[in-house]
Amino acid sequence: MQKEDLKVLNKGEEDEMELQAYRLCRWRLAVVGVGVLCTGGFLLLLLYWMPEWCVKSTCTRTTAREAQVVLLQSTDEFRRWFLAKVRVMLAPGRSPFHSLETQTTSPTSTSSTSPNVANGHTPHPSGGSSDQELIRRYADYQPTQIRYFTLHSTKYYWNDEVQNFEVLTGLEDLQVSCSTLHSEHSAGLTRNQQEYRRLFFGVNEIAVKVPSVFKLLIKEVLNPFYIFQLFSVILWSADEYYYYAMAIVFMSVISIATSLYTIKKQYVMLHDMVAAHSIVRVSVCRANNEIEEVMSTDLVPGDVMVIPSNGTIMPCDSVLISGTCIVNESMLTGESVPVTKTNLPNPAQGGKGAEQDGVYNTEEHKRHTLFCGTHVIQTRFYTGELVKAVVVCTGFSTAKGQLVRSILYPKPTDFKLYRDAYLFLLCLVAVAGIGFVYSIVLSIMNEVPAKTIIIESLDIITITVPPALPAAMTAGIVYAQRRLKRIGIFCISPQRINICGQLNLVCFDKTGTLTEDGLDLWGVQRVENGSFHLSEENAYKEALVKSQFVACMATCHSLTKIEGELSGDPLDLKMFEATGWILEEATEEETSLHNRIMPTVVKPPKQLLPPEPVTSPEQDMELYELSSAYEIGIVRQFPFSSALQRMCVVARLLGEKRMDAYLKGAPEVVASLCKKETVPEDFAEVLEDYTKQGFRVIALAHRRLESKLTWHKVQNISRDHIETNMDFLGLIVMQNKLKAETPAVLQDLHRANIRTVMVTGDNMLTAISVARDCGMIPPQDTVIIADALPPRDGQSAKITWRYADKPSKTPRLEEVTISLEDVCDVDEPKSQEHYHFAMSGKSYAVITEHFPDMLQKLVLHGTVFARMAPDQKTQLIEELQGVDYFVGMCGDGANDCGALKRAHGGISLSELEASVASPFTSRTPNISCVPSLIREGRAALITSFCVFKFMALYSIIQYISVTLLYSILSNLGDFQFLFIDIAIILLIVFTMSLNPAWKELVPRHPPSGLISGPLLFSVLTQILICLGFQTVAFLWVRHQPWYHVWTPHSDACNLSSHNMSELNSTELDDHNIQNYENTSLFYVSSFQYLIVAIVFSKGKPFRQPSYKNYPFVLSALSLYFFLFFIMLHPVDAIDEFLEIVCVPFEWRIKLFLVILVNAFVSVLVEAGIEPWWGKCLSWLCCKRKMAPKARYMHLAQELSVDPDWPPKPTTTTEAKPRPENGSAYQIMMNS
């Protein structure tokens, strides 16, 4: 059959995959079955580890439409394989949105006709109907076969139109417009429709299934390493090495049990976090205007939910179509500030054309969307009208579901250390292969029995690949995790601790991370008759109480009262408190008395109002009170939109006929919506002056609305009609203070050659000012702002370069941002003043699209990225990773979730559930956790290197001993192996990992991989030293005058230990363990393990010195003492247990000298490697002009010789149509 092209699933998304379709082939299955039997099940294991081999060996290619099995491969850098079985479901229609009006059947019964409906999620049947009834109900239509498969908790359905599998997410699949949501989806579904849709969308729950211990055990045990251990244990048992086999089994059981406990605990924690409040009872509107109570698990997209007035936890994503809600979204955003959600505007009702009627999108209309897992605190409603929301997504398609999926199925962490570890193991396997061949040849030459040849040659492999390696490697990480926990940093992805040791760039959010969370009012600057007044400290004045400026401050906010307490955005709260006014909300009882929602009312305190004239007693008291009251009712609220950068309210003063519109927002935006004559001429200078000083500036504006705008018309008018032709009122100046710890921490990072970048949603000049204040940009450095404009009116896109402010002093002539460590300093191209780029989110988007080859140059020196949207923050992290930076991200969780997850090391300063997305969460709400994490990461990384080097040497030392002994058909004894592996290796490995991190961050970075010059050189020299000294001992003992081939009656010590000889003579030594060579090598090799442990246990500059690691020092000294004791003063019981033979005292002294010289040479060589290697490397670099490895260093080198870089302040860069080769932009001088 002809091969079909690859299908691509989730095109352009993060989880994009290529799909190949297969169908089962019987003869191939039979062949594989025979192969499995012949290999004793090993082939089955191999196919389990390699899903692509499994599919290709048992199936044949087919079209995607007829697939029985699909093979999927991710398109990211990891290229992972997945395998899924295609299932078939019977349903009354092809699409969940087909109308079932013509059918009277209840499609729930399909669940009974197909055993594998919805992957085991059988919808709740409505009553147990008999088979006859099923046949009768389904006689009207022909059931349709629907093909689907499930992968990572997502169902992919076959779509005939696009000839591909697609995910059904919910109502958004229909591309519904806002008016259609109101007209066609606001009535609700019939019970039949709901049950039919549930066939496709499944049960509405985010099911985190906690796997059974048995399932986890099977998955854990089938790990290639444990299979290798099982092979080793069987082999040792066949060779009667029972004790060692039992010890390894014991270690493996403990390791598996610990692993199972950790995995199970994480699943249970996630399950509990998700399950809390996920199943609730909800009221839904049926198509016949009935309200019915159902379980939240029954909800499907299109259902209309009634939100209870006392609030609820949302069980799905839905869009409000009537009423308003106050919601706590901390689960998603990390900010526990309540947010007001308003109903989705209905363009059809407002009498506007189709141009206003956009397609509903959760991201665009998030101010009207209630997300799953968020807490609705309270609702407000019109009398007789309920607060209703249309269900948009359910289950794993919701925002919360996506978050849980990203935790359940994370991307693997790609780190050089782990790739190098596998390469290293392969090298060990190659060494083992040489030993394997050597032992076979030697045994055949000596005519050894076949069984012994097989066992001994395979034994070499088990010696070379150490069984305790995984446990040893994770020890350092576990200790680091424990130390981090002690300083209040919690970690959900321990493997990332090592990666944090490599961080050389950290991105910081500004508000709440570098600066205090709240803003304080610094002052106000009012505008009258088109010019600024002098700035005033506050607006709490009798003279201003009835001014439009104060009215705007008092009304233009989204504050609400929750249990009598004012709550909402901290900025709104500070602004409202500064007026001293009082906010009153209508109670539910009051609302129910009126035909419409009662407005929120604000009024000044009595002491601020001017005294009223004395009235005559005959005046009607009530009328007087009404006339003297000064109250403003908020009639309509257009909530703050980060896209529009403003919010607006329509309010009415008590007793006034006409209404007023008040607007607040970003000064540039507000000024553009005001009449020209009302904006002061010096507006730009005043604004720039404030922002340069680091103040947050908000502008206010006002407009009297036409009298024809009634209350009902205002409810349906679009904000564009109101936010125009406004009068500029003035500026509110807020101060955002730096956190006390910020400057010192940033200074530490700079000293350690770690670059810092600010990524914020705030104003550009404010961000630059904060960057200067905290030391991110030194005072003498230049800041170049890149203003990019998209193509317009036939003109191409262009970037205008302007310098933010001139450096205060003569610039330093040096480059600091990029440390070109491994680059030769000869022929320095040009001295470069230190400069920083700053750009806004809009410019970033234009540069990404039209100047892609310039983007890397800009991120190389980009320090301030302002007004960045959440997805742009993630893109920036990816761009920085693209030039080989190891990127850290520190944010307070609010809009940083994506960036925190994408960075190599993301640290959330928020303890809320949003921190689940971040690998690290700090309990201390400031950035002092960043250097602590990097220090611990570096210590853990160096520990991993030390342990790996030690474990490699341990296996090679043992390999050398066994290979030398094989030459005389001897081996190490069972208890000798046991003593070396348990008493020496495990004790040393688990204590050498205990070195804490060094006190401060140093400018040097640790190596990122095992395959680096100094590291390999260190391992190779130590191997050669150990080989040399073992060979010396092995050959020297045979040249001793007292030497002869050992027999149970030998007595080289001249000791009359008659009983001992008799005892030995009764036991025949089958394996020829006891001999002089074995004893000599056992002593020398035992000391070698301890020597390399001490030599490799590096302290400064990344870890505390080893002598401060008391458990390690105690273990090493105890072992030294014990070994010297048994070597110089034999103890019969110990000698017998370890199968050591007695040798003359002078030979013991000679061995002692061999060991001393070995230790001296090892220490000397290791101490000389780093300085010698450094000199050698710099000489080589200068000789060859070697290019640096990291791409950002390479770029820095190129830019240092580019005469046009950085761009001059008088230039504009224009995008050109991209040529075949060369640059895609051109720099032009402004005339």
Catalytic residues: 509
Q: How many CA atoms lie within 13 A of 972 on its CB side?
A: 28
Burial 955-979 (b: 16+ CB within 10 A, else e): bbbbbbbbbbbbebebbbbbbbbbb
Q: How far, CA to CA in Å, does 814 sit from each of 175, 770, 1200, 1207? A: 55, 23, 11, 18
Integer CA distances (angstroms), 1078 to 94, 238, 602, 1030, in order? 77, 22, 94, 11
Phi and psi, residue 629, nearest 5°:
-70, 135
How far is the C-alpha of 797 from the C-alpha of 1057, rounded, in Å? Answer: 97
Cβ neighbours, 10 Å, residue 73: 17
Question: What would the two tokens of residue 980 be?
Answer: 């070396």
* One-letter amino acid of 193: Q
> CA–CA distance from 362 to each of 178, 186, 397, 1007, 1155 (Å)?
11, 17, 12, 44, 72
Spatial strand order of the sheet with 727-735 comes to 531-532, 520-528, 727-735, 695-704, 660-665, 646-653, 632-641, 600-603, 582-584
Strand partners, 327: 339, 376
Amino acid code (one letter) for 546:
K
What does the block give as tokens for 108?
Answer: 């729930």
> What DSSP element (H or E) covers 835?
strand 835-840
Q: For residues 615 and 796, what is the distance between their CA atoms, to the nearest angstrom?
A: 71
Rounded to 5 degrees, φ, ψ at 1023 are -60, -45
End-to-end CA distance of the chain: 67
Q: Name which of 734, 737, 659, 660 is nearest 699 in CA terms.
A: 734
* 836: exposed, middle or buried (Cβ count in 10 Å: 0-12, 13-18, 19+): buried
The H or E element spanning position 670 is helix 667-672
Helix (H) or strand (E) holding 22: strand 17-24
Residue tagged 């009170």 (tokens)? 625
d(CA 1143, CA 406): 64
* Residues ≥6 apart with Cβ < 8 Å to 445: none
Where would I find the beta strands (DSSP E) of 451-532? 489-491, 505-508, 520-528, 531-532
Smallest Cα–Cα separation from 946: which of 1094, 1089, 1119? 1094
Residue entry with tokens 């909402």: 568
- According to DSSP, the β-strands at 905-908 and 798-803 are unpaired
Q: In angstroms, rounded to a whole number, what is the distance separating the alpha carbons of residues 191 and 300?
A: 11
CB 274 within 8 A of CB 395: no
How many CB atoms neighbour CB 406 within 10 A? 18
Euclidean distance between CA atoms 846 and 296, whole angstroms: 44
User: Which helix (H) or strand (E) element contains residue 1038?
Assistant: helix 1013-1038
Asked if residue 652 lies in contact with residue 665, where contact means CB atoms within 8 angstroms, the answer is no
143 DSSP assignment:
P
Three-class secondary structure of residue 391 per DSSP: strand
Tokens 């949207």 belong to residue: 869
Pairing relationship of beta strands 887-891 and 905-908 according to DSSP bridges: parallel
Q: 909 with 893: CB under 8 angstroms?
A: yes
